[in-house]
Structure 1
Amino acid sequence: MDRQTTASTCCYCGVGCGVLIEHDGERILGVSGDPAHPANFGKLCSKGSTLHLTGDLAARALHPELRLGKHLARSRCDWDTALEHAASVFADTVAEHGPDSVAFYISGQLLTEDYYAFNKLARALVGTNNIDSNSRLCMSSAVVGYKRSLGADAPPCSYEDLELSDCVMIVGSNMAYAHPVLFRRLENAKSRRPQMKVIVIDPRRTDTCDLADLHLAILPGTDVALFHGILHLLVWEDWIDRDFIQAHTDGLAELKSLVRDYTPAMVSQLCGISVEQLQQCAEWVGTSPSFLSLWCMGLNQSTAGSAKNSALINLHLATGQIGRRGAGPFSLTGQPNAMGGRETGSLSNLLPGHRDAANAEHRAQVAEYWGVERLPDVPGLSAVELFEQVRSGKIKALWIACTNPAQSMPDQNAVRAALEACPFVVLQEAFRTTETAAFADLLLPAASWGEKEGSVTNSERRISHVRKAISAPGDARPDWAITVDFAQRLEKRLRPGQPSLFAFEQPAQLFDEYKQLTRGRDLDLSGISHALIDRIGPQQWPFPADARQGTPRLYEDGIFPTDSGRAQFVADPYRAAKEQRDARFPLTLLTGRLRDQWHGMSRTGTAAQLFGHVGEAVLSLHPDELRRHRLRPGDLVNLKSRRGAVIVAVESDDSVRPGQAFLPMHWGDRFLKGGVNSLTLPAFDPLSKQPELKHSGVRLEPVELPWQLFALIEGDVQRHFEALRPLCEAFSYASFSLIGRERPALLIRAASSGAPDPLLLREIDQCLALIEGPVLAYDDPRRAIGKRVRIEHGRITAIRLAGETLAQHWLQGLWLDGRTDEQLRRWLLAPMSAPPGSAAAHGAPDKTLCNCKNVSHSAVCAGIEQGLDLPGLKDKLGCGTQCGSCVPEIKRLLASRSQPVAVT
């Protein structure tokens, strides 16, 4: 086998890690970190290191599919038929209803070249600003914060500043899970320089907090009050840089007048922290030689997201902590190329080169460059507004690319109703299994990671070349190529006889045209090309045409890209989150990330290994909250908001406060019936238009679902999933996950108030291959209880328990061990439901603590009992030696074992 290696970039978060793809020209065989890439120096997280295990071909969109009626099934077609039909529908829609009757909703996972093609298509050809990105859901408040305070959407720092800073403040980010490679870098810096102060501001006590010298568990949504309270103390104690303020900023007088009222006592009460904690935080910020802030969705996903961003940047301007080594406000980008999207203008209010669509001069500049008479001046629709207009019927044709709004948008019942009502929905997507795929009238198969070429920009403004290792499967094509092909067909209808705007044959041509729109702008990357990156490596912008290297830090000269050249203090008052706790909805629902899953799980959800740490959706509640509701871990509850409801199991978790609940954001309707975002609200920040996905009012209602189902089947997981998922719609509760490493299997848990129709159960058994063959079965129709197990070659290959599921963990353990217990046959053929003998005490199967080295939780605990410390565990078990994501959890286990036992 001819094994080759291709250097490329990871497709997950905004860290932008370099990867080495091992392949044979046809299949991707492995992946490792690229030691030469300056974003990660060879390190990868658990998600990046398993990229070669994802992208199951059975889950991929392989051929164009078209349906000619909403209630008809899609049929396979060729590319000509698909794109000619799409061009005809879009042209007719524009002709009859105007250009703003169509819209494009694209993704932070697209490459810069893809983005540019879509922008030119929407604005220059169709003539609409209705093009928005799912980056609206993650980074648009950071955009507004940077622009209002500093003059441009430009994170001023570099990753090396994490290692150089004397005080690092992490706000609204579980960095240990969301950006693990950067967190490891910070963790290593802290171990080398213990005097470095780390402050974590988060309502939950996450794994990130294990590194903190100070954790401020503020009440959700009170960040602006906290930052104003810190500034109040900075001014009071004279911990400000008066020379920097006088020389380089405007607006402090107005801000000082505002923050005068944010006294320590007031802020302590508003935020739910002690005055001492607030004072300690302010002292470290104000007296440390260098101060760096890092933030993510906890600040951005809020109806006050723009105010939160600017209030944090105010602290840097007041202390002069910007444009220096180890200092500055540094947003952590959520998606691999959300930065590239912002650069190319892929939000409805932006244009390429950090221009504004509302600015007539900016529109004229881009129109002249593109060779069109004018660009549209009607404001475009942001994501939430866009789907509202789809639902109302104003948007009649919608093109979605590389994103899954039927999982990720808030208020899912409204979004799904909009997609159902839209006359024509195009989905350009690599995975046909996403929740949105069910609504597509036209499905266009796109190339995925390792199969296409282009560029991405990471959180530190570093542009990397994404290289193609293998050809895309089936008929799948790169996103830019699909977009350009469609545009060429559409312009024959909208601009007949005129020169083509889309004469592109290679992605490098798109980049080279786009970069000229940045010339002379704050992000000038006119000196960068694919070939240059290949020659000297990934580079940070600005990188003008005469540059020899990128720019690691911005604003070192104290000059900002504003009209005055000065940064601006922003005085926004604290405003509470949209939904506060009340008698009807007494809990605040927080959402966040898991360690080994990413976003909507369209990719990570195809790898069983990534379910090992957390296998299913579970609602985390403080132990006091469980007692108050008379719940036990594992109980099912009906979790309700003002918009929807989802049935989910609960767990005890003292990392959340009483009055709060936490549910990971990844679980869509595919894996949890209803999905998390059926609960979240569409209210958004008035400036950034970013919705408040982090903060919803909810309540718990008891649910009685005594009839339960447990099923497991190994083999072709995707085929089993497609067969069984629709059948489980009959149950009130249904949860799906994958388990196993060597032998992946689909696992289903479901429940309902009573036994289902026997025909439905038989259909489920048919899908589980539990009707014929080497199947052991026991049925008690009177009690609506039954159990079936398929045993092949001395090993369990499928299980179904119906009615009650006391033996589920025992059987799952037998399956994982690849064996059959000597008592299995006796139990199967007897009325007993609980597992036999000592197995009755058998709890949930052991979880995988270290995914990289496949080390279980019990193995780590056993090592600790033997007296091993962290280095000893790493040496003996290998855990924590690769990506390090498991280290915080191991440290907690070590700490809990070291606590003395009270003797009475």
Structure 2
Amino acid sequence: MNLSQEHLSVATTCPYCGVGCGVKAVPQGPQNATISGDAAHPSNFGRLCVKGSALGETLGLDGRLLHPQVREGGQLRQVSWDDALDRAASQWRRIVDEHGPDAVALYVSGQLLTEDYYVANKLMKGYVGSANIDTNSRLCMSSAVAGHKRAFGEDLVPVDYADLDIADMVVLVGSNTAWCHPILYQRIVRAKEARPDVKLVVIDPRRTATCELADLHLPVKPGTDVWLFNGLLAYLARIGAVDPAFIANHTQGLPDALEAADITPEEVAQACRLKLEDVLAFYEAFAATTKVITGFSMGVNQSSAGTDKVNAIINCHLLGGRIGKPGMGPFSITGQPNAMGGREVGGLANMLAAHLDLDKPDHRAAVQEFWNSPRIADKPGLKAVDLFHAIESGKVKAVWVIATNPIVSLPDADQVKRALAKAELVIASDVVTDTDTNAFAHVLLPALAWAEKDGTVTNSERRISRQRAFLPAPGEARADWKILADFAQRLGYTGFDYAHQSEIFAEHAALSAWKNTLDALPRAFHIGALASLDRSGYDALQPVQWPLGRRVFADGRFSFPDGRARFVPTVPRLPVNTAGGEYPLVLNTGRMRDHWHTMTRTGRAPKLAEHTPESFVDLHPQDALLCGVREGELARVSSAWGSMVARVKHGGGIARGSVFVPIHWNGQTASDARVGAVVNPVVDPISGEPEFKHTPVIVDRFPVQWHGFVLSRTPLDLDMVAYWTRAQGTGFQRYELAGRNRIADFGTWARQLLGVDDDDADWLEYADRSAGVYRAVHVVDDRIAQCIFVSPRPDLPERAWLAGLFASEALTDVERAGVLAGRPLKQGLDAGPTVCSCFGVGRNTICNAIRDKDLKTAAEVTACVKAGGNCGSCVPEIRQLITVVREERVAAAG
């Protein structure tokens, strides 16, 4: 940031993962800003990952929903706010009057700010009188919540980020931290560099980027985590690596937990498909180390046994007293920016606000008294998967979807599509107009986006940070809390006359202190000291961690009435639907390095599209051979619930019998790549979290006649193409294409596809009809407007050098010839596919530098070409390229 602009900068918080990084934004006009890390924020000290660094590219109004709309005759029509809210409220009221409060529901999101979440929860549970409010956080961390409550009596994460700096051993379970939480991973990297004896163990069926630094990688058989940690518990007890005083004074239930964990290391190795020596190495290191942090994420939570997996991990920490002290503890790494804030306000269907319990009458009475509400929900509402089944069956007749895209993100996603098609009333509050879910909305309401929103979020270490608006609200967009409050008032409810979000936060903080005493309803979540903040104090609020001024569990007291933690017996069980027979492979899903959720934000950033521009299916080469598919070709992945199509890839990190597909592609970015349509809808019986990591599937060929790609300054109509993906470039859109039709006349077909109907257009083409190869470039005013490449094989020319031509003011004759030749005619112009998105460094650039300068380490590469010098998430790939070049030299030397 330019020092002269420092006074213009606004301190806010990144809207991506649960790390909760501080951001400085300097407005550059009404819809632009420069983004940098906030050096003063304790979550990241100025560092940002590639997604955070590219936030400036996601601003702007292209595709934004700017005005309320209602659907009439199948078409959306712009209306006033009064008309939209009146229509929504009248239909909602009719449904409640005719069918009761459980006939309506809210489905919300960890993208909401705490103030938004609070108002939504208050409206449904305290005024509508139904707990039918659930959230997409159900899909990522509800198993952690359930595990915490079973073990601790309250949903508490007992680790701070600073603990990573002093831990002597870090165990990462089901977490590709290097890609999904890069700032935390780089903190681990720096700790290991400063103290090489720090041990890093990664437990993951895939060999991910996170494994590159690991001292030990345990590629467990999918679904066998409970076996592994039960074995660790039994091993620790067997060798006496326990804390008898802690167990005696602060826990209960150990005998039953040990009985359920009666398993030997040999049996663990067999069940988990691991080498016995690796199992023992893990167990011995854990036993010998006091300061151990076990970080877990989606690979643990997203399972039909997710809650048991969480408790199996916690049991091992309780046994040795590895909790409540610096440098140790079980650490749930949340996926969304405000998943923790949603938990604080009771955003899940089975929770109440302020860490109070929906199933306890005295808790319900306390909340109703505080809210002075006419009623209070008296039973749990429907969890996410059950909610959409209830909509399809007609039990729930109205749903309001806020800041999420369930037709892409939920399992068995085509069922969600059927459900929304049958609903009497679908309201959607969103930032963008065109999403898979919004296509079913009867009322569409424009919400504020990240840069315009103002409130608070809570990150994975329980740190509350301010999210501050730094751009003006565009069009008629409103804050989510304001939309909800206006809706509530139309229903005749009092208690929603907030003038500013600071008033909501003050109420939320006051509720956390309400009856929060040892002789009443004690909870560790207590931010009552912040309830007195006025508007100016709220505006100036600095990042603050709860509990205020003390460490969680430092006194050894837990949140059960007796103050003792519970060992929870965890009986190992395989996933509900196992592979075999018709579906011989197991599908695992997850995030990619440079994308986020359903890509409605990251898909706007050219920098983020370059690393992985289209979806893929990663499987072992031997499995690919058995399935009859080859790398680079297209394949269909099918389950009992649905199917999708993606390109085959051999990432080198996946075991036989497994398949990996990323979660991000939606109906706007690909023709048929919604992996949610394939995913197993079975859920954990306790948490309700779906089984995203274990779906039985089959993979087979998606045969096509040709492959191709287009770079175009103008959008294309893709109805005539069987397979396509769309990615945003700088000044153009990139389309990957494939078709099942035989093209008789390439020129006519290409012109029709690209919308070039001018016979006098500057159109250059090359065609080899016998080989089925075609290339063309459309030039307008000497600038490249579009180019198209078609081949019967998927090994088409690199796109990076072609993308660079779109920045040229005029194509040279050499560049025109290069386009038709399918390669740059000057040496050194092709940087290759992007490896380092932060600095835009391609594979060829890195490999050439390694060869020419004999670079041997990732640090040397960074010093030479900058790659890896920002967030570090590309460093594992750089190390792989160093190995590739080294092997090339050895092969060349004979």
Q: Give the TM-score taking structure 2 as reference length.
A: 0.92
Stretch moving more, 478-487 or 372-381? 372-381
Q: 1:848 aligns with which of 807, 819, 834?
A: 834
Counterpart for residue 343 of structure 1: 344
Counterpart for residue 665 of structure 2: 667
2:590/2:663 contact within 8 Å kept: yes
Counterpart for residue 224 of structure 1: 226
Counterpart for residue 424 of structure 2: 423
In structure 2, C-alpha distance between the alignment counterparts of 1:346 and 1:811, rounded to whole Å: 44
- SS of equivalent to 1:809: coil
Counterpart for residue 689 of structure 1: 688
Q: CA deviation at 1:848?
A: 1.3
Counterpart for residue 528 of structure 2: 526
User: After superposition, where does 1:33-48 map in structure 2 within 5 Å?
Assistant: 33-48=37-52
Give, as a single letter, the amino acid of the residue that structure 2 aligns with 1:677. G
Counterpart for residue 441 of structure 2: 440
Counterpart for residue 706 of structure 1: 705
Q: CA deviation at 1:822?
A: 5.3
2:410/2:416 contact within 8 Å kept: yes
Counterpart for residue 547 of structure 1: none
Counterpart for residue 882 of structure 2: 894
Counterpart for residue 867 of structure 1: 854
- SS of equivalent to 2:309: helix
Q: CA deviation at 1:755?
A: 5.2
Counterpart for residue 132 of structure 1: 134
User: After superposition, where does 1:123-522 map in structure 2 within 5 Å?
Assistant: 123-260=125-262, 262-491=263-492, 500-519=494-513, 520=516, 521-522=523-524
RMSD: 2.8
In structure 2, C-alpha distance between the alignment counterparts of 1:781 and 1:367, rounded to whole Å: 75
Structure 1 pair 768/144, CA: closer, same or farther in 2 (3 Å)?
Answer: farther
Structure 1 pair 243/811, CA: closer, same or farther in 2 (3 Å)?
Answer: closer
Q: CA deviation at 1:372?
A: 2.3
Alpha-carbon displacement from aligned partner over 1:798-830 (angstroms, at most 9, x marks no partner): 1235675779526773343457585887899xx
- SS of equivalent to 1:47: helix
- SS of equivalent to 1:74: strand
Alpha-carbon displacement from aligned partner over 1:576-610 (angstroms, at most 9, x marks no partner): 11222202111111111111111111100111110
Alpha-carbon displacement from aligned partner over 1:720-775 (angstroms, at most 9, x marks no partner): 2xx63xx33x5432222223x4x342323132255599999589535467776323
- SS of equivalent to 1:572: coil
Counterpart for residue 539 of structure 1: 544
1:46/1:851 contact within 8 Å kept: yes
2:464/2:544 contact within 8 Å kept: yes
Counterpart for residue 520 of structure 2: none
- SS of equivalent to 2:50: coil
Structure 1 pair 836/762, CA: closer, same or farther in 2 (3 Å)?
Answer: closer
In structure 2, C-alpha distance between the alignment counterparts of 1:772 and 1:122, rounded to whole Å: 62
Query: Does structure 1 residue 611 correspond to structure 2 residue 609?
Result: yes
Q: CA deviation at 1:375?
A: 0.7
Aligned length: 871
1:708/1:752 contact within 8 Å kept: no
In structure 2, C-alpha distance between the alignment counterparts of 1:459 and 1:770, rounded to whole Å: 57
Structure 1 pair 867/437, CA: closer, same or farther in 2 (3 Å)?
Answer: same
Q: 1:21 aligns with which of 3, 6, 25?
A: 25
Give, as a single letter, the amino acid of the residue that structure 1 aligns with 2:547. P
- SS of equivalent to 2:611: coil
Q: CA deviation at 1:564?
A: 1.5
In structure 1, C-alpha distance between the alignment counterparts of 2:885 and 2:706, rounded to whole Å: 39
Stretch moving more, 575-584 or 752-761? 752-761
In structure 2, C-alpha distance between the alignment counterparts of 1:485 and 1:433, rounded to whole Å: 25
1:65/1:77 contact within 8 Å kept: yes
1:156/1:329 contact within 8 Å kept: yes
Q: CA deviation at 1:364?
A: 0.9
- SS of equivalent to 1:83: helix
1:462/1:541 contact within 8 Å kept: yes
Structure 1 pair 791/417, CA: closer, same or farther in 2 (3 Å)?
Answer: same
- SS of equivalent to 1:691: coil
In structure 2, C-alpha distance between the alignment counterparts of 1:201 and 1:826, rounded to whole Å: 51
Give, as a single letter, the amino acid of the residue that structure 2 aligns with 1:732. A
1:129/1:349 contact within 8 Å kept: yes
- SS of equivalent to 1:698: strand
- SS of equivalent to 1:114: helix
Structure 1 pair 52/516, CA: closer, same or farther in 2 (3 Å)?
Answer: same
Gap runs ≥5 in structure 2: 517-522
In structure 1, C-alpha distance between the alignment counterparts of 2:525 and 2:17, rounded to whole Å: 21
In structure 2, C-alpha distance between the alignment counterparts of 1:669 and 1:678, rounded to whole Å: 12
Gap runs ≥5 in structure 1: 544-549, 829-833
Structure 1 pair 895/240, CA: closer, same or farther in 2 (3 Å)?
Answer: farther
In structure 2, C-alpha distance between the alignment counterparts of 1:760 and 1:426, rounded to whole Å: 44
Stretch moving more, 9-18 or 893-902? 893-902
2:338/2:457 contact within 8 Å kept: yes
Give, as a single letter, the amino acid of the residue that structure 2 aligns with 1:699. I
- SS of equivalent to 1:455: strand
- SS of equivalent to 1:63: coil
Q: Percent identity?
A: 40
- SS of equivalent to 2:486: helix
Query: Does structure 1 residue 809 correspond to structure 2 residue 807?
Result: no
Alpha-carbon displacement from aligned partner over 1:658-707 (angstroms, at most 9, x marks no partner): 11111111122322323111110110000000001111111112232114
In structure 2, C-alpha distance between the alignment counterparts of 1:341 and 1:769, rounded to whole Å: 53
- SS of equivalent to 2:491: helix
Q: CA deviation at 1:424?
A: 1.4
Q: CA deviation at 1:896?
A: 4.1
1:451/1:469 contact within 8 Å kept: yes
- SS of equivalent to 2:72: coil
Alpha-carbon displacement from aligned partner over 1:161-203 (angstroms, at most 9, x marks no partner): 0111011110000000111011111100010011111110000
Give, as a single letter, the amino acid of the residue that structure 1 aligns with 2:175. S
In structure 1, C-alpha distance between the alignment counterparts of 2:44 and 2:737, rounded to whole Å: 39
Counterpart for residue 675 of structure 2: 676
User: After superposition, where does 1:741-820 map in structure 2 within 5 Å?
Assistant: 741=730, 743-754=731-742, 765=753, 767=755, 773-776=761-764, 788-801=776-789, 804=792, 808-809=796-797, 813-818=801-806
Q: CA deviation at 1:628?
A: 3.1
Give, as a single letter, the amino acid of the residue that structure 1 aligns with 2:678. L
In structure 2, C-alpha distance between the alignment counterparts of 1:761 and 1:845, rounded to whole Å: 31
In structure 1, C-alpha distance between the alignment counterparts of 2:20 and 2:568, rounded to whole Å: 31
In structure 2, C-alpha distance between the alignment counterparts of 1:461 and 1:10, rounded to whole Å: 15
Structure 1 pair 843/581, CA: closer, same or farther in 2 (3 Å)?
Answer: farther
Q: CA deviation at 1:898?
A: 4.3
2:800/2:832 contact within 8 Å kept: no
